[in-house]
Each structure stands twice: as C-alpha cells, then as structure tokens.
Amino acid sequence: MKWITSLLMLVVALGCGSKQIEQLGIETVDNARVSIAAAESVGARDVAVSEITSAEKMLTSAESSLQSGDVERSYRLGLRAYLHARIATEKSLAVRQEAQVKEAQAELELRQQATEEVLNNLEKLKAELAAQKK
C-alpha cells in the first residue's frame, strides 16, 4: 500500500512539475517577445543588429519548440532570446547616452570659449578704464 501511494505521489508530482515547466517556457517566450519589442523601441536594430537578429531567430525557434511540445528547449531558447534582446537594448541605450555626453561636452566647450571671451573683454575694458584714469 505504501509503495502504491508513493508511486501515485510521484506521478502527481511529475505531472505538476511538467505543467510548471510548460508555464515557465510560455512565460519565457513571452518575456523574450516583450524584450525584443523594447529593444526595437530604443533603436536596437540600428546599433546592435546581430543581437536583435539572433534574438528574433531564437524566439522563432523557441515558439516552434513550444508548439511541438519540447518545452525545455523552448525555455532555453526563449531565455537566450531574452538575453540577446536585453544586450541589444543596453547597447542601444549606451550609444544614445554616449552621444548625449559628446553633445554636452561640445556645449560645455562652447560655453567655456564664450566665458573666456567675456573675461578677455572685461580685462580690456579694465585696462581702458585704467588708462583713462591716468
């Protein structure tokens, strides 16, 4: 009796485990899909072409694996697609931030030049004022 009960519990546990794995595979594929869309929205296709292309290919493979019932493969591919999309997103954001930094540096240089010109003019005016006082 104990043997039969243990066997039934094992079967139930395995059945629940496979449902959880299947759900995890579905969620991972969905997360990959969302991450690819997010990467696209920040311009990853222009900056990280290979990563976004890899993510899309892996997502396609993950979806077909999920449909064919290979949940474990679908989960692995979905996770890889998600990671490639995140890399593409981060690369795109880094390029954007680098461009903003360069723009800010250029603006700072212009303002420094303007400040130097004002200081030079001020020195000239002081010199002229001192010359007039003599």
Angle between helices 71-133 and 2-41 (to 10 degrees): 40
Is 51 in contact with 22 (CB distance < 8 Å)? no
pLDDT at residue number 74: 93
What pLDDT is stored for residue 17 in this prediction? 54
CA distance 51 to 129: 65
Number of other residues whose CB lies within 10 A of the CB of residue 88: 28
Which residues in the chain show pLDDT less than 70?
Answer: 1-18
Give the CA angle between residues 35, 56, 48 to the nearest 5°. 75
Handedness of CA 13, 14, 17, 23 (dihedral sign): negative
Phi first, then psi, for residue 70 (nearest 5°) are -90, 80
Cα gap 55→2, rounded to integer Å: 49
C-alpha to C-alpha distance for 128 and 50, rounded to whole angstroms: 64
Q: How far apart are CA 24 and CA 19, in angstroms?
A: 8
